[in-house]
Structures are given as structure tokens and as C-alpha cells.
Chain A
Amino acid sequence: MARKKTDAFEESLKKLQAIVEKMERGDLPLEDAVESYTEGMRLAQACHQKLEEAEARVRMLMKDTEGDWKPVPFEVTPGGTGEED
């Protein structure tokens, strides 16, 4: 079973964490620190954007007349409890 590659988000988050760690050690020359900080802020922003990029919506997959799967808006049916079908 082929494992899925770690996604780009995880990659960015790890990079960001590494940068913060590096800055915490405090032995960076000022120029490098500024560079790291800029890169860190860029990564944090990118992560944030990735998190925000999904559209907040709930849809349901339905087969159309051609037999293709199409998402349609989904509304929760207010119903009793525990009924599954």
C-alpha cells in the first residue's frame, strides 16, 4: 500500500517550526535572523491561507442522468434521533 506523501501544508508547517527553533537558539547573525523571520512570516501566512482556502460548505454527491457524480447542496434533515435510514 503506497503511503501518501506528506502534504504541502505539513511541509510548510514543519519548515516554520524549524525556523522558530533556529531563531530561539539566538546564535544567528542579525542578517540571517531577519531573513529567517521574513521567511517564517511568509510560511505562517501561506499556512493560514491554505487553511482558509477551503470553502465552508456542505454538499452531497448525487449521480446525474449521465451517471456522473455531481455535488449538490446538502441540508440536514431535522429528524428524530438514532434513525439511520
Chain B
Amino acid sequence: MTFSLLHPIPGDETGVFSVSELNSRIRSILEGSLPFVWVKGEISNFRIPASGHHYFTLKDQQSQIRAVFFRAQNRRLRFVPEDGLQVVCQGRITVYEPRGEYQLVVEIMEPEGLGAMQLAFEQLKKRLEAEGLFDSSRKRPLPVCPRRIAIVTSPTGAAIRDMLKMLQRSPYPLEVTVIPVRVQGKEAAGEIASALAVVDSLRERFSWDLAVIGRGGGSIEDLWPFNEEVVARALAACEVPIISAVGHEIDFSISDLVADLRAPTPTAAAEWIVARLESVQRELERCREQATARMKRRVEDCGHRLRLLQGGLKDPRRRLDDLRITLDDRVERLRLAWRRDLDRRRTLEDHLVGRLKLCHPNRRIEPFRERIAQLRKEISHRFLNRLSFLRHQLEGTAGKLEMLSPLAVLSRGYSIAYRLKDGRIIRRSSEVELDDTVRVQLAEGAMECRVTARE
């Protein structure tokens, strides 16, 4: 059924529409002519109210259209739409009559370029990483020797076959419990998550020390359950350490990132278990051998030492003889030593006495004594010389003195006249006055005379 605006339209008598009538007509026309469209554009103003419906605007450079993605449909979406995302939508146009607005009701949405799955993977990975679900700090330590293993996988797939085959190489018995799940298809993720919850709840009853989840390789679609959030959460919640062994060597699944260990394939996971047990076996063997070897050597050493000590034990009488000989020997040596010592002392004494003699004080006094005697002789000699010299000199001087004595002159008839008043010798007549008294010294005696005349 098609409509044309030019076609005569039933309205009231005047041919004028009410608003409701017009919107109703527009709705019929739009919804009737655009029941199914594909449209691509960029998401903006994206929001999710409590209802769970997605509301956003789809736009390109020139234009935009309102869009709604109802909860019933958007639940199947693997990724979360966001602003700026380029998408292709399939939907129909509807008109919301109360407001006279039209919008696109989306049925299917696909991201453009990147596949929806890839996008969903990236988004979930980012979110779980931010939550710390991949942190190495929350990984559980793997058992040194796994003995009871829970394997969550398809009971009919290649993965369980490959793993069991590899596990047969284990040096120790292994108890394997398969928790059967579907590993592809819509129900797989839920089943895997439930199985992990079962593993966690029954871990005490079955004494599981390790769990493996996985499947063989496949397309990204096939491996998808291992990229689902429910599986990631179940992995994080399970107390049993888990190895994730999903598909190819190249791709990492979300499970790989959350699990406590990632094995590239199910076979590799089984190989890891076997290698672990083999290394435990080797280590045990090494410890045992080393301890035994050490102990053996120790015992041998002790035996050796014991034999040596036994050889050292002798008959006590022989020991006595030994002691006697030793005693004699010691006494003889003592005697010799004593004599040697005595000789040495004697020699030393002689030597010292000789040196002492050389040092006797007489030897040093003698030269002084001689010197003194010599000096004494010298002094007396000099003194005598000096005495006779003086005597000669005295004799000479006395002779001269004799000659000079006025008495000698006087004895020849001369006399000396002194002035009486002052005792001066009178050499000229002028030296006296008339009537002066003059003392005249003669050779024998003296006389006082009065001057009666002068000439």
C-alpha cells in the first residue's frame, strides 16, 4: 500500500488536518515505505537509561538521525557501543506521534572496519585489565606435583583425546576428572562458567589440585566462549589453580589472560603437567642419591679414621719401654745441654773479665800522674830560675842604690841644708832670709845654724 501527498486525503470537510491526523499520516507513510533500511554512521550522544535501551544519534558530516536500540535486541550485542564508533545498523524508521519526531529503530548493529568480535574482545580485555583480573599478583601458585586434575572441556573433542594421550607419559598415576561442557555455540560460555563453579565447589571432595579448561583450535567464532565475561569471572573466582589451553598458539583468549597459566594448546597443558611431575621425580631421585652418597662417604671416612686410630693403639709394656728409652734420651740430652750451657757461660765470663781489665781505672789515672809529676818538676824549675833572676836583679839595683845614696855624698864632706820651717832643701841662697834658722845635715849628725849673711 502506497500513499501520495497529492492524492486526495480524507480529512474534515474543509480538508484541513489536525496535528494528530498529520502525524498519523506521516507515520503511516514513513513506516510503510521504510520498513527495513541499512544505514552507516558515527555514534554520538550515546546513553543507556535504566530501561536498558540504547539511545544515540547516528551522524555523518552533514546530517544526523536519532536512533534507539531496544534492550530485547541490544542484549545480543557482543560489544558495547560508544561515542565515536563507526557502525552499520539495520533497522526501520518509526515516528513518535506525541512529539512528531521520527527515529531509527535499530535491529542489528555491527562495528565498521573492525569485526564485532574483535571489538568486543578489545573492550572486555580493557575492562577486565582495569579491574586487575589479569594481575600476576592474583594468580594462584601452581602445584609442584599435580595429581588430581579436573579438565573442563568437551568429552568428545580432540582436546581431551590429545591431553589424555600426553598424560599417559606421567611418571606417577594421575586421577583425571572430565567435566563435560560444550565448547562452542551460544550455550558454551554459560556451561563452561557453571563447570568452573562446580570445580570450585567440589574441589575438597575430589582433592583437585589443578584444573585445565580448553579446546582445540578453531575459528574466532569457535573460540569465542573463552572470550566471554562469564567465563573470565568464573576463572577468577575458582580457588583451584587453572591452566587455560585454548586453540591456537598465536591468539590469546580472555581465558588465557585470567587463568593462572596459559598453555598454547591442550597438548601443551598436558605436557606441562608431565614435565612438572618428571622434574619432581628427578629432584626426589637426586635428593635420595645425593644423601645416600654423602652418607656412604661419611661412613667410609669414619671407618678409615677408625682403622687409623686402631693402628695407633699399642701394648702398654712396649709403651713403657718406649718411655724408658725416651727418658734416657732426654736425660742425656739434658746433660749435654747443661754442659754446653756451662761452657758457653765460661767463655762469656772470660771474655767479660778481659774486657773489664781493659777498663781498670789505674790505666786511666797513670797518664795523669805522670803529667802531674812532670808539671811539678817544671813548676819548681821555673820557680828557681825566676828566683835567681830576681836575686841578680836585686843585687844590681842595690849597687846602684848605694851609689845614689846622699849619705855617700855627705861622707865625702858635703852637707845638705834644709829650711827649718818647711823642711825644703836649700839649693840657692835666695831661698833663705837673714836670721832664718837652717838645718844642716852632715854625714854624721846635724846642726841648726843661723843665716848671718848671704852672698
A→B interface (CB under 8 Å):
1-4, 6-7, 9-10, 13, 16-17, 19-20, 23-24, 26, 30, 33-34, 36-37, 40-41, 44, 47-48, 50-62, 69, 71, 74, 76-77, 79, 81-85
User: Once bound together, how far apart are the Cα atoms of A29 and B284, in whole Å?
Assistant: 24
B216 to chain A, nearest CB (A): 6
Cβ–Cβ < 8 Å partners of A74 in chain B: 155, 176, 178
Which of B56-64, B286-294, B423-431 is found at the contact surface with chain A?
B286-294
Which 8 A-B pairs give the minimum distances between C-beta atoms? A56-B173, A54-B147, A84-B157, A51-B172, A60-B178, A10-B144, A40-B291, A37-B295
Q: Is the CB of B144 within 8 A of A16?
A: no
Sample of 9 more A-B contacts, CB < 8 Å, known A23-B294, A50-B145, A85-B156: A2-B239, A10-B145, A13-B280, A20-B290, A20-B294, A23-B290, A41-B291, A54-B173, A84-B159
Decide yes or no whether B174 CB sits under 8 A from chain A: yes
A42 to chain B, nearest CB (A): 11
Q: Is the CB of A54 within 8 A of B144?
A: no
User: Once bound together, how far apart are the Cα atoms of A56 and B215, in whole Å?
Assistant: 23
Cβ–Cβ < 8 Å partners of B148 in chain A: 54
A7, A19, A76, most chain B CB atoms within 10 A: A76
Pick the contact of B157 from A2, A53, A85 — CB < 8 Å?
Answer: A85
User: Once bound together, how far apart are the Cα atoms of A81 and B154, in whole Å?
Assistant: 13
Q: Is the CB of A59 within 8 A of B294?
A: no
B→A interface (CB under 8 Å):
138, 140-141, 143-145, 147-148, 154-161, 164, 172-180, 182-185, 198, 202, 206, 209, 215-218, 222, 236, 239, 241, 277, 280-281, 283-284, 286-288, 290-292, 294-295, 298, 302
Q: Is the CB of B178 within 8 A of A83?
A: no
Q: Is the CB of B141 within 8 A of A3?
A: yes
A74 to chain B, nearest CB (A): 5
User: Once bound together, how far apart are the Cα atoms of A52 and B173, in whole Å?
Assistant: 6
Cβ–Cβ < 8 Å partners of A59 in chain B: 175-178
Cβ–Cβ < 8 Å partners of B145 in chain A: 9-10, 13, 50-51
Cβ–Cβ < 8 Å partners of B290 in chain A: 20, 23-24
